[in-house]
């Protein structure tokens, strides 16, 4: 059974006569209020915590839903034994303890509760900022030791100071609100934060270098991705204001910890507060014991209220799904019916690829996205297709995004999303076009699904061309001048990079041209850099799908 073999949203199952009630197992500690939600909604619930692997395998086939935290390991073996299971709900964000591919293959929806601890994490960042400003941990230890070193701990006020926020999404925006209440000047760096959303939050949107130079306190609230890893590097720290203080309640790996220690030792930075570390649990660390460091053991989500919130949310989400088919915060499933899933699958893939194409080329904040559905695709569930586009568009910067939470994330960042549906007008029976407007430019890309079910690019920036989406691609824009293709081939040949296919389009002789090149393997960064240095090249970017 797939998750789509359920009543449509809004039509709860009536448990009368011989119709069985859905049954849920809670295998980790959840609030008693969560248990009551299941009961009140008409869902039978068992609470059995501390189960061994064998015990879980023995009983899991009797349940429609499974509610967990981090202790229960929902392995492929467990999923195989779960003959009735339709939903796994994680009270919290991380789902490393769930085999999502195995769950997806079996039609089991995996949900989490990504926003239940936002306020708690934001408050912890503010608490650490106060602790740094007034040296509270060290003063506390000194006072307990009977030293009464009143003149030793000379702090600073927060009022009037500049707070720099890296990542102004859900948590970062809450931090900004609290900091403004403390009469701080708030500046933010976030490529996906629109100017309109920045105005709404009362923050000044700036580039990273400007933020580093101006911030008295710098707090991180961005996911850990290839682009953000070590975003606070030795080079970045050198650009920070002397005497600045750093707070990280987001992810270990955002800060180069060796460079941070050097900056604290030299006096360039006045202090750092860390709730997360590159390796956790961090029982030994070079920064432990440092007089300028405040450290906590990943307590960002650790409040009674946050744990209560995620427990209640997961109970509501599982109940909604089992009773009505409504899917919220799913990591592996769009909100579509079984019939639509079969028909729309290739189009959903196309939509996500088109979004990913634009997203990998976008380096400034996105103001708006327009989606044009023409022909037969306009009669489909375009909401799901729009969600797939936005998920693909934002995923290069936000890897945890999915089709379900994409609209929420887009709204948080002030991105306007609009749809146009129309009858067939061009040569293709059906196609999808997306137009992405950023602070600096407008970019468009269109695609369709061929009869074999494979998505294809059919137009880029108004230039007609045809290409597949492949794992190793290179996107090049250039002036249409003789000798470019030969120069490109020479650079690739000298680097022993093999071309699998070459797709070219142009506005006209001597005008703008676009090349989409497919390769058998990754293109080295040095080769991409060399292509960028060719005089007629305007842009060269490696893409992956």
| Cβ atoms of 298 and 93 closer than 8 Å | no
- Pairwise CA distance, residues 259 & 536, whole Å: 39
- Pairwise CA distance, residues 250 & 190, whole Å: 14
Is 134 a known active-site residue?
Answer: no
Collapse the DSSP code of 326 into the 3-class scheme (helix H, G, I; strand E, B; otherwise coil) and give the result: coil
> 298, 383, 421, 472: which is the annotated catalytic residue?
298
> 11, 149, 235, 280: which is the annotated catalytic residue?
280
Q: Which of 301, 338, 291 is nearest to 112 (CA)?
A: 301
> 90, 214, 251, 456: which is the annotated catalytic residue?
251
- Pairwise CA distance, residues 79 & 102, whole Å: 7
Is 298 a known active-site residue?
Answer: yes
Q: Which of 118, 138, 93, 92 is nearest to 273 (CA)?
A: 138
- Walk across the sheet containing 109-111 and list its strands: 44-47, 23-26, 65-68, 87-90, 109-111
| Cβ atoms of 11 and 289 closer than 8 Å | no
Collapse the DSSP code of 219 into the 3-class scheme (helix H, G, I; strand E, B; otherwise coil) and give the result: strand
Is 280 a known active-site residue?
Answer: yes
Give the distance, in angstroms, between the CA of residue 171 and the centroid of all CA atoms in the same chain.
13
- C-beta neighbour count of 428 within 10 angstroms: 18
- C-beta neighbour count of 465 within 10 angstroms: 17
Give the tokens for residue 340.
Answer: 């639509």
Q: List for the chain the helix, strand, coil content (%; round to 5).
A: 35, 25, 40
HEC string of 265-290 equals: HHCCEEEEEECCCCCCCCCCCCCCCC
| Cβ atoms of 406 and 437 closer than 8 Å | no
Collapse the DSSP code of 463 into the 3-class scheme (helix H, G, I; strand E, B; otherwise coil) and give the result: strand
- Pairwise CA distance, residues 62 & 84, whole Å: 7
Which residues belong to the active site?
A: 251, 280, 298
């Amino acid at each position: 059974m797939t998750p789509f073999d359920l009543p449509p949203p809004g039509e709860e199952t009536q448990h009368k006569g011989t119709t069985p009630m859905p049954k849920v197992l809670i295998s980790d500690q959840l609030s008693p209020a969560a248990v009551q939600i299941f009961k009140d909604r008409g869902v039978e619930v068992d609470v059995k915590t501390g189960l061994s692997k064998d015990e879980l395998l023995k009983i899991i086939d009797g349940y429609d839903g499974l509610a967990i935290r981090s202790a229960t390991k929902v392995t492929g073996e467990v999923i195989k034994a779960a003959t009735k299971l339709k939903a796994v709900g994680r009270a919290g964000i991380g789902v490393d303890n769930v085999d999502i591919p195995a769950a997806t293959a079996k039609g089991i929806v995996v949900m989490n509760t990504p926003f239940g601890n936002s306020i708690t994490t934001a408050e912890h960042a503010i608490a650490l900022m106060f602790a740094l400003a007034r040296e509270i941990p060290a003063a506390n230890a000194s006072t307990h030791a009977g030293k009464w070193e009143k003149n030793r701990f000379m702090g600073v006020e927060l009022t009037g100071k500049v707070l720099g926020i890296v990542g102004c999404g859900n948590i970062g925006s809450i931090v900004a609100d609290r900091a403004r209440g403390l009469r701080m000047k708030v500046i933010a760096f976030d490529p996906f934060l629109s100017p309109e959303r920045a105005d709404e939050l009362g923050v000044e949107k700036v580039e990273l270098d400007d933020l580093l130079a101006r911030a008295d306190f710098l707090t991180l609230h961005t996911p850990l991705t290839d682009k953000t890893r070590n975003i606070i590097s030795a080079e970045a720290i050198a650009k920070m204001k002397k005497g600045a203080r750093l707070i990280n309640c987001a992810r270990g790996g955002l800060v180069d910890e060796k460079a941070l220690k050097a900056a604290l030792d030299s006096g360039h930075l006045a202090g750092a507060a860390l709730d997360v570390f590159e390796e956790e649990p961090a029982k030994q660390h070079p920064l432990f014991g440092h007089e300028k460091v405040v450290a906590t053991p990943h307590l960002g989500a650790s409040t009674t209220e946050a744990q209560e919130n995620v427990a209640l949310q997961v109970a509501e989400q599982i109940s909604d799904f089992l009773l009505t088919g409504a899917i919220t915060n799913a990591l592996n499933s769009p909100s579509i019916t079984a019939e639509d899933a079969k028909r729309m699958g290739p189009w959903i893939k196309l939509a996500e690829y088109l979004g990913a194409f634009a997203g990998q080329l976008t380096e400034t904040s996105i103001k708006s996205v327009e989606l044009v559905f023409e022909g037969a695709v306009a009669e489909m569930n375009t909401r799901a297709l729009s969600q797939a586009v936005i998920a693909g568009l934002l995923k290069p910067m936000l890897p945890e995004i999915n089709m379900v939470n994409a609209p929420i994330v887009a709204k948080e960042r002030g991105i306007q999303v609009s749809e146009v549906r129309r009858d067939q007008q061009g040569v293709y029976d059906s196609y999808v076009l997306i137009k992405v407007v950023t602070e600096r430019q407008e970019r468009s890309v269109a695609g369709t699904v061929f009869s074999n079910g494979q998505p294809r690019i059919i137009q880029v920036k108004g230039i007609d061309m045809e290409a597949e989406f492949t794992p190793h691609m290179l996107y090049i824009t250039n002036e249409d001048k003789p000798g470019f293709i030969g120069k490109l081939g020479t650079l690739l040949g000298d680097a022993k990079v093999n071309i699998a296919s070459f797709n070219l389009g142009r506005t006209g002789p001597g005008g703008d041209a676009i090349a989409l090149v497919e390769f058998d393997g990754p293109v080295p960064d040095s080769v991409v850099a060399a292509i960028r240095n060719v005089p007629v090249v305007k842009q060269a970017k490696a893409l992956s799908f």
